[in-house]
Amino acid sequence: PSAYEQLKLHKLKYHAQQRAIPQAPDDPIDWIKTLFPQLDKPFGTRHEEFYNHIDSIQPGIKPPAFFAVWARGGTKSTSAEVANVRVGAKKVRKFGLYIRRTQDKANQSVQNIGEKIEQVSCYYPLLASRKLSKYGFSQGWRADMLRCENGFNVLALGLDVPPRSIKLGNYRPDFMVFDDIDSITDSADTVRKIIDIITKSILPAGSNDVAVIGIQNLIHPDSVFSQIVDGRADFLLD
């Protein structure tokens, strides 16, 4: 066949493949209940507020920080992990940073995000495909990082590791999740060190439109989250 006929056949094949991909609901709550039915119960007002905020994130616009202060058993980490799937599927962010108290826990959350992405692969095949180099090698689908074919990336970061340069090629983090960073045994000195890492190493590394999400239960009267909630913190004032 001629080059024109080959191009026509390619377009026909592409459109046929696109028609075969099921369409996920647009509404964030319907999306959750359809793609992640295990999260449907319990599902309360706090969850709706959280996912509606996630759905309001737009490229190039810096939203106010959102802190979900929920009690134990409120599907905190699971919701934060699913939020990464949502922003990656919508392609409103390119580089997510998942921050937890330890690198091991951060790695576990990134692995959980990978499993959730694979769970919705029929809806988002490019999100669930590993980004490959021009030689066909995976560019990053490991314990601490996911690099997806549709352009979304997630990196795990533990507060127990020495601060390092946080960049991925030309990308700066444009989506940050702080998940369970406080401990009931934290001393005042430990809290100060965590705040220093957040304010001097992590937040300055973000893009101009970085979206910041925090999720934690209040377990310490002077913890990082407690200071943010009651206004004592002099950062993330939005």
Give tens-digit pLDDT for 181-229.
999 999 999 999 999 999 999 999 999 999 999 999 999 899 999 999 9
Average confidence (pLDDT) over 3-31: 70
Sheet architecture: strand order including 95-100: 66-69, 211-216, 175-179, 95-100, 153-158, 145-147, 141-142
- Quick one: pLDDT band at residue 162, thresholds 50, 70, 90? confident
pLDDT of residue 14: 47
Task: Please state the φ and ψ torsions of residue 39, each to the nearest 5 degrees.
Answer: -90, -5
Counting residues of the chain whose pLDDT is more than 70, the rounded percentage is 86
- Quick one: pLDDT band at residue 22, thresholds 50, 70, 90? confident
Which amino acid is present at 166?
I
Which pair of structure tokens corresponds to residue 157?
A: 């970061």
Helix count and strand count (H, E) for the chain = 7, 7
d(CA 219, CA 183): 7
d(CA 154, CA 104): 15
pLDDT exceeds cutoff 50 at 99: yes
d(CA 46, CA 80): 13
d(CA 168, CA 156): 12
